[in-house]
Amino acid sequence: MKIQLKIIFLLLFLISLGFKAQEISGRITYNVSLNLTIEQVTERYKGVNRKVPQSSKDRINSSRDILAFLEFDKQHSIQSLEDELKNDGYRGKNMTQKGAGNNKLYYTENAFVQKTSIVECKILEECVLIEQPKAEWKIFQETKIIGSYLCYRAEYQNPIYKYKKPIAWFAPKIPASYGPKIFTGLPGLILELEDNTVTYTAIKIELNPQEKISIEKPEGKALTQEKYEALLKKTFPAFYKKIEDYKTSN
């Protein structure tokens, strides 16, 4: 009987150790740079029978790198950009900022199913959490080292951009299925992401820092992407009519 009890205690101890080992938290700092060239843009304007406007060239030439921060624990993650105020006098001129989602937050919750939402607080009168469809990835054998981590290449399969499929480099050694923006769900943390017009590269990786990371779920009504778009069209009919008018006149 005593031996049985000892075995049970030992098993419980090992199980608790296992849980402890899975508890991971961290803070990743990414450098975000523009990966859009004037040559690419020229081709795209050709497609709509237009010349590249000077303002477009200026925006590309004057873009500069920014920082993005991803904080995570076992339950959830949140990604934000560096403080807007630090870019004083530069607002709107930086295309990198647009590619990185302007001032939006990206929140991922790990419940039974992982759910990623875009937190939008500026457009409507209240904040909304726009739920994103489940990410589908194709993983390749191609590897590269980022920091000291071996990373695998993965391609995002959900239809999202016209010209490109986002490519992620994730580290299976960091068992956290998170990444920048809406790009989550891989069997390891994303350390580099080649998105549509910007590239995120991890420049600082802090795992299980002494200072506890506390993430709170952002407040706001949860909406699917479809419902959110329908709500926008209902709230701003003039804007969407203007887009339709533009499309028919061009």
Which residues of this chain interact with another protein, rule CB under 8 A? 36, 41, 44-45, 48, 50, 53, 55-56, 89, 91-93, 95, 98-99, 102-104, 120, 122-123, 161-164, 196-197, 232, 236, 239, 242-243, 246
Question: Is residue 95 within 8 Å of residue 63, measured between CB atoms?
Answer: yes
Q: DSSP class of residue 87?
A: G
In terms of CB distance, is 214 or 250 closer to another protein?
250
Least distance to another protein, CB of residue 193, Å: 16
Name the strands in the sheet holding 128-131, side by side, starting at the edge strand that comes first in the sequence. Answer: 137-146, 149-156, 167-171, 189-194, 198-207, 26-34, 66-72, 76-81, 105-110, 114-120, 128-131, 221-224
* Rounded Cα–Cα distance for residues 47 and 137 (Å): 29
In terms of CB distance, is 18 or 159 closer to another protein?
159
* Rounded Cα–Cα distance for residues 63 and 96 (Å): 6
From 182, 209, 44, select the one nearest 108 (Cα to Cα).
182
In terms of CB distance, is 44 or 153 closer to another protein?
44
In terms of CB distance, is 42 or 208 closer to another protein?
42
* Rounded Cα–Cα distance for residues 28 and 40 (Å): 30
Least distance to another protein, CB of residue 120, Å: 7
Least distance to another protein, CB of residue 199, Å: 14
What φ, ψ does residue 232 adopt, rounded to 5°?
-65, -45
Least distance to another protein, CB of residue 43, Å: 10
Q: DSSP class of residue 118?
A: E
From 155, 116, 119, select the one nearest 134 (Cα to Cα).
116
In terms of CB distance, is 18 or 89 closer to another protein?
89
Would you call 15 helix, strand, or coil by DSSP? Answer: helix
Least distance to another protein, CB of residue 236, Å: 6
In terms of CB distance, is 27 or 93 closer to another protein?
93
Least distance to another protein, CB of residue 45, Å: 6
